[in-house]
Structure 1
């Protein structure tokens, strides 16, 4: 029984997209060609690989088994190509990273930009997901490297520390709350907030804690990034909750107040996670080593 690598890659892309149409687009195939390839593979194997439903497709148990093997096979091929590429100029490698909001917005841009400048033959696919979705992506082989908060279940993954992440409340200049050294999340839930537009991993994280407290966050406005959020807060619109690094920038440039949240979940360690370090493609392994050895700035909150 022979397996076409294009078919295996297509199955992975279909599973990741949740539809044959989405998988075909990512594989740069027509829908008709992608459908025919999957049907042909199912006929060859004598078993259905995907269950079709109105919203798309989901893998069958046989499909999940095939996807696991396909990921290993394609990963080994990518690793071989990457290692041989050490001797061939111009060979491109692609590293897939799934990250939560804070790491993606505050820590990764500078680090990844510097890495790419030093490695012109490498491309990086970066997408934002909740920490639980990042873990799932790494476990299923849809991402080479994940960046998550250490409060999430990480069984089955290898992890290394990356950065410390402290969530703080930003207030308009002169706001009464700004005089406090810290505040509990539940104590600010009666206030109105500026938040992030969805899908945002941090917004989902905060909304989850608010629901558990029985007092949902009330948003007056949602914006795309932390800097825009802080500008709206500085204008007096409402409060915001952002990482300390973003709050420091806003405090320096806009004069917003910075009040650390006292809740244990507001101080988190971000970690890098992989399924198996030694099985990573060479470019992903090199990037992982770079990210974990880059010194982290000390995290000393200030409310002045």
Structure 2
């Protein structure tokens, strides 16, 4: 049994496919299968069960998957730290985020953190979904992930930092912007600009609408909140997005866009996800705490 055997086995469990892992590693499916078979010979149990559309771990396989995932992440972190020490580096903090996270939630915190830790390497990795962020954590590729907080994820600890109320982004000359206020029922019939189908924020919004008995139709979709806001400003439709830090949610800026509060919708919790808070490096914890403090204080004055 080798380290590569365990790493490939974990990858197969996550992908649910031998061929997918083979493509990712640029090797043959037979080579991937040999790694799994070697583990099965060593443990004396069957680790994978074949299904019509791939493979899933057996109960015994899930036990090994959990232990191997934990061990690989810890070893990767140790090797990363040893590499820093060998190169004489002061250390690093590796963060995975969505496309708009750094600008909206971390800009002031990065400046403050850099002022106190000038020699630390900051590495940012952009992912499109919380699921991809969780995978990056599990793989040991990052220390921290900024995500929409949702249900429990095995092997991941989540900590909310801020709750974002929902707003409707519309042009200032839109009839909806001229009324005294807006309720969820007023959203029926809007030209809805939908958020990404596989995003946590979209799932949160869909759940809220299902509970309210509201169904929205849409012919326009986007990959992130900023694009939805831009399309609303262009008059393409109406965007339901979280009220981001620094955003003129009261709609008093006099610009072409107005953000109308939607108090009927439960706020969207966002914050940090890690493998284990107790295992974070002091630098990673310091960065997470700095972002938390900045979010609590709000954006710096221009």
Sort the TM-score into its range (normalised by shorter chain): 0.7 to 0.9
SS at 2:271 equivalent: strand
On the 8 A contact 1:82/1:93 being kept in 2, the answer is no
More displaced, 195-204 or 240-249? 240-249
- The alpha carbon displacement at 1:13 in A equals 1.5
- The alpha carbon displacement at 1:65 in A equals 0.6
| CA pair 83-247 structure 1, distance change in 2 beyond 3 A | closer
Task: List aligned pairs for 1:12-161, cutoff 5 A.
Answer: 12-89=10-87, 95=94, 97=96, 103=101, 106-107=104-105, 119-120=120-121, 124-129=124-129, 141=138, 145-149=144-148, 152=151, 158-161=157-160
* Separation in structure 2 between the aligned mates of residue 69 and residue 155 of structure 1, nearest angstrom: 12
- The alpha carbon displacement at 1:33 in A equals 1.4
SS at 2:45 equivalent: coil
Q: Normalising by structure 1, report the TM-score.
A: 0.75
- 2:207 is the alignment partner of 1:200: no
- The one-character-per-residue Cα deviations of 1:116-151 (angstroms, maximum 9, x if unpaired) are x9645x755543435xx589769x945754434456
Instruction: Give the root-mean-square deviation of aligned CA atoms.
Output: 4.0
- The alpha carbon displacement at 1:288 in A equals 4.0
SS at 1:58 equivalent: strand
Q: Normalising by structure 2, report the TM-score.
A: 0.75
* Separation in structure 2 between the aligned mates of residue 37 and residue 261 of structure 1, nearest angstrom: 53
- 2:293 is the alignment partner of 1:293: no
Q: In structure 2, what is the equivalent of residue 219 of structure 1? A: 218
State the number of aligned residues: 289
- The alpha carbon displacement at 1:160 in A equals 4.2
- The one-character-per-residue Cα deviations of 1:243-278 (angstroms, maximum 9, x if unpaired) are 222893897696111101103513x44231334223
* Separation in structure 2 between the aligned mates of residue 30 and residue 93 of structure 1, nearest angstrom: 35
| CA pair 118-193 structure 1, distance change in 2 beyond 3 A | farther
- The alpha carbon displacement at 1:180 in A equals 4.8
